[in-house]
A and B are shown apart, each in its own frame.
Chain A
Amino acid sequence: MSYTQIALLSFILAIGFDLRITKIQLISRKVFWTSYAVVLPFQLVTNWWLTSRNIVMYKADTIIGLRIASAPVEDLFFGFSLLLSVLSLWVYFGKKN
């Protein structure tokens, strides 16, 4: 599997996790999208740092090649999946207690 395929899979799994496993459905909340809007510029800046300075590099045949702020577009799916799944679980444990 390429990075592109895994990134898309993680995106689908994270949404499924939020909707069906934790059942928090954070993806339908304004609070989530506002948080994402705050996080995104920071992701772009930190990603730009890591990729433009060649701290992290990517094999060409594992990404589609579209880059945003020097980083592969796949990184945005990676970041979204990480954020959504953690926040969904965070709210889930908050609800449980």
Chain B
Amino acid sequence: MLKWSYMAMLAFTILGSFWLEIVLQVRVLARLKRVVMSIAPIALLFICWDAFAISRGHWYFDSKKILGIFGPFNIPLEEFLFFFIIPIAGIMTIEAVRKVKKHWVVGDEK
């Protein structure tokens, strides 16, 4: 069970945000292309940062508390997921605020 420690945090983030898709109808996952276009370039930069930080030992992971699946540059699978799941939760949050505060300007109004 211990090896799911990091994954549990990602699951918590999904549980804490993805309900907005159904309850508040934020339609974020329904606009998947825009989601990918918004996240991919930023995630790429942060993955570069992650690779650098891991190579320099700025941060490191307890190998017993992650699944042990690694991508390029010794980056754990959980980190790759992090850079997509956290931004999706963020996008869902701003869309949820927009749903509740309809008169607030976001900047992409038609």
Contact = CB atoms under 8 A, between A and B. Distances in A.
A90 B34 contact: yes
A31 B37 contact: no
Contact of B6 (A31, A39, A55, A87): A55
Size bracket of the A interface: 35 or more
B58 A87 contact: no
Contacts of B46: 82
Interface of A: 2-3, 6, 10, 24-26, 29-32, 34-35, 38-39, 42, 46, 49-50, 53-59, 62, 79, 82-83, 85-87, 89-95, 97
A87 B65 CA distance: 30
Interface in B37-79: 37-39, 41-42, 46, 49, 52-53, 56-62, 65-66
Contacts of A97: 34
A91 B107 contact: yes
A89 B49 contact: no
Given A29-B107, A89-B41, 8 more contacts: A29-B104, A39-B89, A62-B56, A86-B90, A89-B37, A92-B108, A94-B34, A95-B108
B5 A31 contact: no
A90 B93 contact: no
Interface of B: 5-6, 8-9, 12-13, 16, 34-35, 37-39, 41-42, 46, 49, 52-53, 56-62, 65-66, 83, 86-87, 89-91, 93-94, 96-98, 101, 104-108
Say what secondary structure dominates the interface of chain B.
Answer: helix
Given A35-B90, A86-B90, A90-B91, A29 B106 contact: yes
A86 B39 contact: yes
A85 B38 CA distance: 9
Nearest to B98: A31
A74 B73 CA distance: 22
Contacts of A3: 53, 58-59
Contacts of A2: 58
